[in-house]
Amino acid sequence: MDWQKKASTACAEQKSVEAERGFTLIETTIALLIMMIVMLAAASLFAFSVYNNSSGADRMQTLAIAQQTMETLRSAKFSNKVTDAALNAGTITQSVRRGHPTSSLARPYTIVSTIVDTTPTMKTITITVTPTGAGPTWATGAAASVTIVTQRAKTDQS
């Protein structure tokens, strides 16, 4: 009886060892392939987010330049008595460099200010700012431009 017990224990141990033999080479290869695909997807998502974050900074700088130019023209005198020369009808194109304090690293922008006499007492001011420097971000083509439009009426104040 003792030998039957030993034989049954040995058989159970052999089945246990067979059940715990581990992963096959195919299973390991498939698992590594799946992990590689997931890691490549995560890396491309990281690159995409870095690209879009730098695009936001470029767009913010372009919009800030447009707003600053618009505020300069809005602060010019336009009344029944005095009209600032900056508000004469026409188109003015200028280039500025903004960004890094060192001018060689600053990004160039083109500002186009268009002032139209809508009526004798009303002017329409359009500011378009376009980054002109080469950049890997959103700032290429017509989509890179920022345009702000406002109207300005004469005041009774001097």
pLDDT tens digits, 99-126:
666 656 678 889 999 999 988 889 999 9
Strand ranges of the sheet holding 146-153, from the earlier edge strand across to the other edge: 90-98, 107-119, 122-131, 146-153
Residues 43-50, mean pLDDT to the nearest whole number: 87
> Which one-letter amino acid corresponds to residue 145?
S
Kindly give, in sequence order, each residue whose CB lies less than 8 Å from that of residue 50, ignoring residues fewer than 6 positions away: none
* pLDDT score recorded for residue 133: 67
pLDDT exceeds 80 at position 76: yes
In whole angstroms, give the CA distance from residue 40 to residue 37. Answer: 5
State pTM to two decimals: 0.62
* pLDDT score recorded for residue 142: 52
For residue 105, count other CB atoms closer than 10 A to its CB. Answer: 10
